[in-house]
Amino acid sequence: MVVADNNIFWRTSLRDGIYDLATDLLVPGKGNLERYVGSQPSVGVYWQINRHFSVSAAYDHFFAGPFLVKATPPRRSVDYAATWVTYKF
């Protein structure tokens, strides 16, 4: 099975920034009037080999929007890739 999607990220408040999972501020929004953070298209491939084993792979590319490009220091687009094997008892 192949799955593709595209996520789009916006700031709802000009006073806010971007945080990590632990709610630490990564990119402050102070003085940056841009709302569009970026977009992230991705594609994943999933293969069920048998009832116990499956193999998965995913690739994402994050396109930095104006908010990240104008941040201090400027942020840029990045790529993510992952593969994994799953065994179910």
Q: What's 26-57 look like in SS3?
A: EECCCCCCCCEEEEEEEEEEEEECCCCEEEEE
Q: Are 42 and 22 in contact (CB under 8 A)?
A: no
pLDDT of 19 higher than 90: yes
Q: How many domains does the chain have?
A: 1
pLDDT of 6 higher than 90: yes
Can you give the pLDDT at residue 1? 95
Can you give the pLDDT at residue 74? 87
Host domain of residue 53:
2-87
Mean pLDDT over each residue of the chain, to the nearest integer = 95
Tokens found for residue 16: 């806010």
Can you give the pLDDT at residue 70? 93
Average pLDDT over residues 12-25: 93
**Dihedral in degrees, nearest 10, Cα atoms 34, 28, 40, 80:** 150
